[in-house]
Structure formats: C-alpha cells, structure tokens
Amino acid sequence: MRIITLEEHLSFPEMAAQVPQEALGNFGKSPRMQQLAPLLEDITGQRLASMDRNGISMQVLSVDSAGANLLDDEKAPAFATRYNDLIAARIADHRDRFTAFAHLPTTAPVAAADELERVVKDYRFCGAMIRGVTRDQFLDHPKFAPIFERAERLNVPLYLHPGLPPKGVADIYYSQLSGNEGMVEALACYGWGWHSETALHVLRLFYAGIFDQYPRLKIIIGHMGEMLPMMMARSGRALAPGMGGANQRTLADTFREQVFITTSGFFTQPPFKLALETIGLDNLLFSVDYPFSTNEMGREFLDNTGLSVPDLEKLAYRNAARVLGL
C-alpha cells in the first residue's frame, strides 16, 4: 500500500538566518527546536531512511516556521523564490519520493500568486502552505484575493498552518507566564495557541464568504482539524447562513465540499473517530508532522485505525493523490 504524508517540514539554515531575529522573539529557540534542527535540514539522509523503514512512499515538504511573511514587500518575493528553488534542487533526484508546497511571500499578494503559479508549472509543486497571519491580518482581508484566485485557477490547495502568534496576542496571552522559554512556546504554539488560531482563521474565511466566492478553492488544515470537528455543531449554528456573515452555505457543507484535514501529530483514536463522524473519510488525509512527530508514531496509528482495506487506502494515499493531483 502506498502512503503519502503531506505536512512534513524542512528548514534550511542559510534561509532561516535571513529572517530578522527580532521578528521571531524567543520562539523557536527552545532546546527541543535546537535538537530538531538537523532533521529539518536533512532531506535525503535520515529522513529518507525513516520513510523507507516505515513504508512511506512520498512526503510533501513545506518550510517550517515563519519566513517570507516576516520580511518587507521588497525582500519577501526574492526570499520565497530562492527557498522554492533550493527545495526543487534538493529533491530533483528523488521526485518519486518528494514534492512540496510552495513558500509564498504573502506580504506581497500579487507576487505570491505569481510565485505559486511559477512553482506549480516549473517544479510541479502541489500547492502552497501559508503559516498564520501576515502582519496581523488574516487571509479574509481583500488584499489576499490574488492568492485565492490563482490557487483556484491552478486547481491546487492552500494548506493553512499555524504561525507565530502576533505580538499583541503574545503580549496578552503568553508574556506573563511563569516558566522557561520552552514552556511558553509549548502553550503559545503546539500545545494550544496554534490550533485555536488556525481554527479561527478557517472560521473567518467561512464567515467572510471566501469559500462561496471561490467555490473551487481547496483548503487543507492539519492536526486533525485544529479542534473544529469538536466545534462543528456549535460553530455551525452560530455562523449559519443569515446570521450576519457573507456565507451562503452551512459550515458542515462547506467543509465537505472544500476543506480537507490531515492527521498530522494526532495519533489517538477519539479525535480521529470524531473527524470521521463530522468531516467524513473522503476529506481526511494522512500526515505525520515530521520531524515534530515520528514516522513510527504515524505508522502505528495508521495500522491501528480499524478501517477496511479500501478505506485505509483512501486515508493513506488515495485522498491525497486526488486532492493534490499526484
């Protein structure tokens, strides 16, 4: 059985060094992040060996952490282009094992749309990953329309991934925490904050009518739906058509038609069963979140889902191949 995973991260030190440190604050400096840095840089060494050991056929790579969206309008496009070129060069001899989501300069939306089209056509990248907000603005702001228009026209998905919390949010929610930097980072990012922000991001797009404006747009979110499956009924009632938003459909219908979620980093049965019941198997894609989660954890979860062979194939690779055009 083929296995495709599509929230698998990389970071090249020569590119990360170009991001202003003051924009990053203390995030990413925990001992855990320092320990993972060599795994993020590697592609065809330990990463590929781990894929082989666990039967993973292909990884869809994406840039970890913030990058171009922390640079100014002039520097961001060149930075994103250079990053995408480096990724393409480093996977060129292993295109049967790797593809990628584009890194986009979202501070310059037209340039971002152009870069998306370039890498999809030139490198056969299968969409783009956008991390968090851009200068404190969510993607429902009208300025980001070129990105949605181009993704829809190219028929490639946008993967919405959490990003660094905006300074205003970090100052209020996390600055008064007592504890070391690792504890603050864990709560602000992968322990809670990331997931609630991405859920809010999707709900804002929905309530603003973005999905109705771009009916062929495909959005992917990770981490078993960023808590949205649990909130589907309650949020769906509050944000129903006619309740003040621009949305023309229900939240549940919009998810079934345009939103896909991955298992990245979530390998227990209760959230998986909830996702199956609320989102449906056809909108579920298997992912690991390497190297923040291990391929062994992902494979153990996949082997213990209890799904029939046809349904397991959907989760493991068929859904991803369909959504990403692989």
**What pLDDT was estimated at residue 161?**
94
CA pair distance 280, 266, nearest whole angstrom:
17
**What pLDDT was estimated at residue 180?**
59
Q: pTM for this structure?
A: 0.95
187-219 pLDDT, tens digit per residue, is: 888 888 889 999 999 999 999 999 999 999 999
Cα 286 to Cα 8, 83, 185, 317, distances in angstroms = 11, 26, 26, 7
**What pLDDT was estimated at residue 182?**
60
The tokens for 22 are 């003051």
CATH number at residue 126: 3.20.20.140
State the total domains in the chain.
Answer: 1
Evaluate whether 320 touches 6 at the Cβ level (below 8 Å).
Answer: yes
The tokens for 209 are 């009518």
The tokens for 147 are 């990105």
Cα 311 to Cα 46, 86, 145, 263, 317, distances in angstroms = 30, 36, 36, 15, 10
**What pLDDT was estimated at residue 23?**
64
CA pair distance 93, 88, nearest whole angstrom:
9
Which domain covers residue 231, as residue numbers? 4-324
**What pLDDT was estimated at residue 255?**
97
Question: What is the mean pLDDT for each group of 10 consecutive residues in the chain (326 residues)?
Answer: 96 88 65 81 96 98 88 90 97 97 96 98 98 94 98 98 84 72 74 89 97 98 96 96 95 97 96 96 98 96 96 98 96
First to last CA, the chain: 15
**What pLDDT was estimated at residue 179?**
62
